[in-house]
Structure 1
Amino acid sequence: MNHYEQPPINRTEVNHTVKIDNRKDLEITGVKEVDSFDNEEFLLETQMGYLIIRGQNLQLKNLDVHEGLVTIQGKVYELSYVDEHYQEKAKGFFSKLFK
């Protein structure tokens, strides 16, 4: 290997974790994409499928696309996952809501 060649990059799959602190600070890793959000609902595509977060006064505090990290603040009421079979249905449902 000469000095112009770059060694291959070994990418490891990012784990998906959800950490809630006092039901108001939410940190999520393994996020592929933020599909939609407002102050009451977020739709995130994660390594484990779509994650819906519902609450009150929700705000996106940090988004690190490279690391797959999302931080949300606000009053969290509900977290729910949409299985792979229902992902397109979820996307269609949320696209109608956010037009």
Structure 2
Amino acid sequence: MEYQTSYDRPVRDHTLSMDGRKRLDITGVKQVDRFDNEEFLLETSMGFLAVRGHNLQMKNLDVEDGNVSITGRIDDIVYLDQQTVKPKSLIGKLFK
């Protein structure tokens, strides 16, 4: 099944595949909202997804197909409500 984005491009079904908490492959990604070595915030066809951990790195990003691969130590994967997604300010990033 495919989902249409607001940009009229199809997005694949949303799936997560994790290999030993060291690699996470995600499909159905519409956009990468923000990321650093401790947190990724992705907009998927099923809502916003936060991935938290240590030494996180994006190893693959295919915006055409909506695929993202993240490596590092993955501690937490959680879906967020639209209301809980807030942009981090520069001050917030400095004092986290």
TM-score normalised by L of structure 1:
0.77
1:77 corresponds to 2:66: no
How big is the alpha-carbon RMSD for the aligned residues of Structure 1 and Structure 2?
A: 1.7
The structure where helix makes up a greater share of residues is 1
The structure where strand makes up a greater share of residues is 2
TM-score normalised by L of structure 2:
0.79
Over 3 Å counting, the alpha-carbon distance change for 1:22 and 1:95 in structure 2 is same
1:14 positional shift: 1.3
The one-character-per-residue Cα deviations of 1:21-77 (angstroms, maximum 9, x if unpaired) are 011010000000001000000000000000000000000000000000000000000
Taking every aligned residue pair, what percent have the same amino acid on both sides?
51
> Can you give the 5+ residue segments of structure 1 that lack an aligned partner in the other structure?
1-10
Match among 23, 26, 41 for residue 25 of structure 1: 23
What residue in structure 2 maps to residue 44 of structure 1?
42
Compare CA radii of gyration and give the structure with the larger one: 1
User: AA paired with 2:79?
Assistant: Y
> Can you give the 5+ residue segments of structure 2 that lack an aligned partner in the other structure?
1-8
Over 3 Å counting, the alpha-carbon distance change for 1:13 and 1:40 in structure 2 is closer
